[in-house]
């Protein structure tokens, strides 16, 4: 029988239940990872006697797994303690991932003739956040980082403009890239790994996406980015088909190339978001944001209900309690655009 275990490090203090099975005073430990929220978080509810002592600003890391497995524990979050809440019987400690540093970073700077990825790397450096992967993305004639919005808001805006995903790894490093190329694949089979599953299908918010900026852009030369225009038609980007049409005005989309890339990224995201799945698994800390999850052998009453296929991992929640042990809830999104072909060549069974 597998025995769930964890290692929590706060400052210089460590609780490791694999080394000391009786040392845990935790009532509940929850780690929430989500691409669609600003920061990931960990919440520890512990007894008042013998628990970890924490102060806002302390470094925190969380590793989960099973004491009986050879692989040991897997890092799922690195960050900082943001709140502590001592009560009469229990104490609640909340930590945020390293993306919290970007939330607290405000910069006033104008970038010219650079890429979205270079801006993201600069913002991460200003916040003291390591970068794991940051692709260049579209070239931007000009982009203004203003102090009215925090660094993370700018990073997420640039990701939307580029059609990229952005999140932090379990080690706390920033990722800024499209959902393409090689991915870690986790195969989940009905009747073997799944404790529960739900599916949501919805109409996309829009059928056609049109993006335009505010300058003549490349039609009047590279130096015309600062000019205003009266006719957006030649410089706009369009993707998708059908009604309704979503109009997106972005001053930074000052060229047809940038506008087209943004339109394609937004349209693909709308199509992919129309299919959502959530599965509950016996604890699997190896599943990370941005991974590919392959569902197999799910029953179907009708073709539209069939869950089998490949999905992108958009959210993960790991939860340990004394009654339920370690459970993992994974939120998945369908694939669209270039991402639709990822994992198509995987053999049946994949990697469990």
User: What CATH number did the domain enclosing 14 receive?
Assistant: 2.30.300.10
Instruction: Identify whether residues 92 and 129 lie together within a single domain.
Output: no
Residue 220 has a pLDDT of 52
Instruction: Identify whether residues 62 and 10 lie together within a single domain.
Output: yes
- The encoded tokens of residue 91 equal 């104490």
The answer as to whether 126 is a domain residue is yes
Instruction: Identify whether residues 315 and 284 lie together within a single domain.
Output: yes
Instruction: Identify whether residues 67 and 145 lie together within a single domain.
Output: no
Instruction: Identify whether residues 81 and 193 lie together within a single domain.
Output: no
In whole angstroms, give the CA distance from residue 1 to residue 14. 25
Residue 183 has a pLDDT of 87
Residue 337 has a pLDDT of 66
pLDDT in tens, 200-251: 888 888 889 988 776 545 455 555 555 555 555 667 788 888 889 898 877 7
Q: How many domains does the chain have?
A: 4
The answer as to whether 350 is a domain residue is no
Residue 347 has a pLDDT of 46
Instruction: Identify whether residues 195 and 248 lie together within a single domain.
Output: no
Boundary-marking domain end, from 256, 272, 288: 272
Q: Is 105 left (phi over 0), alpha (psi -120 to 50) or beta?
A: beta
Residue range(s) defining the domain that contains residue 143: 101-177
Instruction: Identify whether residues 193 and 318 lie together within a single domain.
Output: yes
Q: Which of 224, 182, 165, 217 is nearest to 341 (CA)?
A: 182
Residue 304 has a pLDDT of 47
Strand arrangement of the beta sheet that strand 131-134 belongs to = 131-134, 174-177, 165-168
Instruction: Identify whether residues 190 and 280 lie together within a single domain.
Output: yes
Instruction: Identify whether residues 190 and 55 lie together within a single domain.
Output: no
The answer as to whether 130 is a domain residue is yes
Instruction: Identify whether residues 89 and 14 lie together within a single domain.
Output: yes
* pLDDT in single tens digits along all 352 residues of the chain: 577 889 999 998 888 777 665 556 788 999 999 999 999 999 999 887 767 889 999 999 999 998 766 567 999 999 999 999 888 888 999 999 999 999 999 999 999 889 999 999 999 999 999 999 999 998 888 889 998 999 999 999 999 888 899 999 999 999 999 988 788 999 999 888 899 988 888 888 888 998 877 654 545 555 555 555 555 566 778 888 888 989 887 777 777 778 888 888 888 888 888 889 999 999 999 999 999 999 998 887 644 467 888 999 999 999 998 888 899 999 999 887 666 667 655 544 344 4
Cα 336-339-344 angle, rounded to 5 deg: 105
Contact 68, 35 (CB under 8 A): no
Instruction: Identify whether residues 135 and 150 lie together within a single domain.
Output: yes
The answer as to whether 346 is a domain residue is no
Instruction: Identify whether residues 171 and 313 lie together within a single domain.
Output: no
The answer as to whether 347 is a domain residue is no
Contact 15, 24 (CB under 8 A): yes
Phi, psi of 259 (to 5 degrees): -65, -40
Task: List the CATH number of the domain containing 154.
Answer: 3.55.50.10
The answer as to whether 220 is a domain residue is yes
- The encoded tokens of residue 261 equal 């890339």
């Amino acid at each position: 029988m597998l025995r769930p275990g964890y290692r929590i490090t706060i400052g210089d203090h460590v609780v490791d239940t694999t080394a000391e099975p009786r040392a845990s005073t935790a009532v509940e430990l929850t780690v929430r990872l989500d691409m669609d929220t600003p920061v990931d978080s960990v919440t520890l509810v512990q007894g008042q006697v013998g628990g970890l002592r924490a102060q806002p600003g302390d470094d925190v890391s969380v590793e989960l797994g099973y004491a009986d497995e050879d692989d040991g524990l897997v890092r799922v979050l690195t960050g900082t303690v943001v709140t502590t809440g001592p009560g009469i019987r229990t104490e609640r400690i909340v930590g945020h991932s390293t993306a919290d540093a970007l939330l607290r970073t405000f910069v006033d700077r104008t970038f010219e003739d650079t890429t979205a990825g270079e801006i993201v790397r600069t913002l991460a450096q200003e916040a003291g956040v390591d970068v794991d992967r940051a692709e260049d993305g579209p070239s931007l004639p000009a982009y203004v980082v203003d102090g009215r919005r925090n660094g993370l808001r700018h990073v997420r805006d640039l990701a939307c403009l580029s059609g990229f995903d952005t999140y932090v790894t379990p080690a706390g490093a920033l990722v800024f890239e499209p959902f393409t190329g090689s991915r870690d694949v986790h195969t989940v089979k009905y009747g073997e790994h799944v404790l529960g599953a739900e599916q949501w299908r919805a109409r996309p918010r829009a059928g056609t996406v049109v993006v335009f900026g505010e300058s003549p852009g490349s039609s009047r030369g590279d130096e015309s980015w600062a000019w205003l225009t009266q006719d957006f038609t030649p410089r706009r980007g369009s993707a998708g088909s059908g009604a309704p049409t979503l109009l997106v005005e972005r001053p930074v989309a000052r060229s047809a190339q940038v506008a087209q890339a943004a339109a394609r990224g937004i349209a693909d995201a709308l199509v992919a978001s129309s299919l959502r799945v959530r599965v509950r698994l016996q604890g699997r800390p190896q599943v990370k944001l941005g991974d590919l999850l392959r569902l197999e052998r799910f029953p179907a009453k009708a073709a539209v209900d069939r869950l089998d296929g490949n999905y992108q991992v958009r959210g993960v929640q790991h939860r340990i309690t004394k009654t339920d042990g370690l459970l993992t809830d994974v939120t998945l999104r369908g694939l669209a655009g270039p991402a639709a072909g990822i994992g198509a060549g995987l053999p049946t069974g994949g990697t469990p």
